[in-house]
Structure 1
């Protein structure tokens, strides 16, 4: 635990402390170790010198005693010169004490004496025992000297003095070292650390001052400045790219929000990661409800990731909510591993296409001839019936002025009136005659209407429909011949019967007044015999014309045969019938001119005024005919 605390505490201190403390510890350790070994060496040297000195002096004294037989008192005087000597004794080899000088005597056994001789010296806490063997002829002995250990005070004082000198010198050197280390290493590293922290924390930072040193620190400074310059350049480029990317993203978001199509961005699993407002409206969801939702869930399984993958190559259509037709187009965003999905609601377009297809089919297959002409009066569209009518191929009709394909002048002459009517009233209809290539006149019932090209355009197209009236005209002609007199154009007996029957079928016909006038011409046979049948036909035509000028629209004038005519009058009183008959007599009696000849005829008129509903038509005619013959027998030219 303490080791961990030490490690965590040590590694958390500054670099200056980490560098200086080990250096200080090494120096102190070296100094203490040096002092220790120096003192120990001095003590050993001092002891060795003392031992050698004691041996030398002891040997001399022992030699004087043994060889010269010097008095022990004289030896004591010599030992006074050695204050450190506590006792000097000379033993025989068998441990017999021969002489003991200065201090108390010490008895030794032979074994003890032998052990002392084996070692150069012995020492206790306070004493030093030096032994040496004296080998002289006939005088073998052992010298044992007990002396006090030398004092260590001088050595200690010397060590203290050396320590003071060392500490003073060390402090000077230490200050110089710290200043140099701080200038050359610690301060640059501190600056580098500060800038690195600024770089790490993305604070504003300054470039390091270029180093003039050519060592590793200088190279580190220069490399760091280059790194900062490159990083600044990269950051500037990155910020530019980010701003550009942000602008492009903002532009893309604006495009997605303003595009009218529903647009989604989905990942590989179909999860929606972006959408625009039209997508929310189309899928009927709330804002932000689509984000993180699965596209298959939102579309109720109609649009899946498989469909999106299929729509990468070609557009796909799906049905959403059973009523909407959606067109799906997708593109892959490879860098994002996502898909851009565009959804267009083509329901209205499909319905419009279907309507256009139906309209085109109706236009093309219509039995009536149809043609569309632009504002420059050039044909832009025709159907099959139109090409059949014009006897031209469709390619030759398209782009051709309408005046060039219609034979005859009627349509061309009426074109300005047709356009004016269409501009004023929105349509024109009427009957024109087209001359076919074989010269046959074809009556056409024509309708013209205006079609605007677009809401904002003033130019219009004109839509023509032509109905061939040839068959209708022929049927009308045959019907007319079946119900009208060929010479005068008046109704014949069949037509008259139909008109009278229809009139009688009306509930108010009798109440409103109805009369049958049977007319026979007087003097007609004479004109026919005198001037010929052509003159007779002329007279009949003139009489018919004059009759028609007297009747109303709901009345009927008919020629039965020869010079016999019938007029049915409606909504008339008896007095009105009499007045009409008088005017009729006067009008028909007016002279006629034929090939320079003046001629005239009279009329005999039989009148039958209906007072009750009668259904027998022949009976009505007979009654009018009888009245006419009665008038003719009485006197011609009468009613």
Structure 2
């Protein structure tokens, strides 16, 4: 068939206008035609390619397409095929090629027409899809594609491995298939909320396999939208972490449960007790904490071995659990010790009934083989909020109550004494304040004179401790000494008193007024090892003070607690030249035997007898008896608490020649004592060879008052003189 010029021109226009590259080749593989689309596709102009071998466009590793030309030359169909060619800049082009023969006028094949379409972009998409499909299929995590209605539309192979469901069993089903019931709806509500708000949610969920086994996994769900911004798909990825979670649960159980009895241990107990206390605060109910220790369990271990002991513990723990409510906690905290926490308690009867059952249960014989084992329980109890302590303190209080049971008989229940605890806390606070005061140097010594009624001389002074409290002012010894009589601080404070008194005696000796001083010594300090050696060492450090100038006072009641030890210590001290006085004599129901046993040189009559002797005949007779005993045993007697001169006159008439008390002078700081001593000696009145106590007291007081007045006037103040002595 012959074509007109118009037809040939028309066909050429079609070829040039095509978006596909149309290339002609002769049977030798050389380029015979090259349209504009070919130029655009390959980057070569027609002049560069016409007459050139088509192999020029092939990558080096590809053979020439001779088989295609051969098939065309033989008239065999070729159709379409995908191939790779090179662009002028060297980059590969993925092409879809349709090959057909070119015939001459008589129908002979003279060449081939190649129509090439660039499919590089499509090929990249396909490669990405292939890669995605490969990842999807080979991913070790279970992956599911879910439609907008929550229906599974595709799953990977790992999904079947992880869940046990085949692809066919899952497609068309919803995720409700995998709910395990181990988690509440709160988790799923949170994850769904995150998915709606952010397009993605993550969480650890428990599900179940087809065989019913629990399955823990990390679930990630991502939302995919279509071109119209509508939800099209959801991608769910589930990573199986069941072995890890089961291992964590085992570790957590070991951390919170006793391996022998499978009961909560101390750590879990503390948490549950804390929760019970918080609940009690909200509801106004009570929490009972009971500390239980098995009596006689050690004998079982010793006699039958630890294996039998362990079985006995398990038996007892199961029995105790059987007496308790489901909401209560029984914990083993070590050895044969358990703790019960009873929460939600409204009245005492409800928990005492439980505790009584526990006590009775523990007493029941334990039959292990042919052996019948017997234990009992000592139970210490504290109740919140009566005991308003924190969790750790509640356990300690229950433990303390249990210890009290052990000490007082066992096999019963004992409640913690909250009042005693409060008193102990108060005592502890007081002890701390005394300790702090000692460290701050707040203690001082006052001195109260003792006079001899024979001649009115100053026979000595008693050193009396005072606490100069910055807040309360001057505090007497009765406020703090009783608190530390059995505390180690009494020894340190006693050593300080001795040192201070020795310093003062030495200072007075240097001033020409040597004054013997009596020092009160606590029994604990006196009987402590090394007391005498320490005192003698302190005396050697004060060469102006001789042992005879120091008088040690012991309270009679404390001296009688261990008479033999006290007497032996006194004798050793007396051999070193020290003297002793028994203070508060008469208050300890002392007998002639005690008076004979204790080698004290001085007896000090208790102030209570002296103060009552003017009105109470029995007190007056008791004072006479003490004076008589002292005379019979050749002891000096001193009357304390003389508050008026009439008492002093009466005591002199009985033969008691040494007195001290407010009638003479109150305890004074050292400087005041020195002024008083000078005034007393200057005022001493002796009439017809007899010491006149009333006149001396009156004159001494006037002299001191005048000195004070002159001192005040010198400072710009005025005052008046007293005109009488102290009356009874």
Q: TM-score normalised to the size of structure 2?
A: 0.34
Which has a greater percent of helix? 1
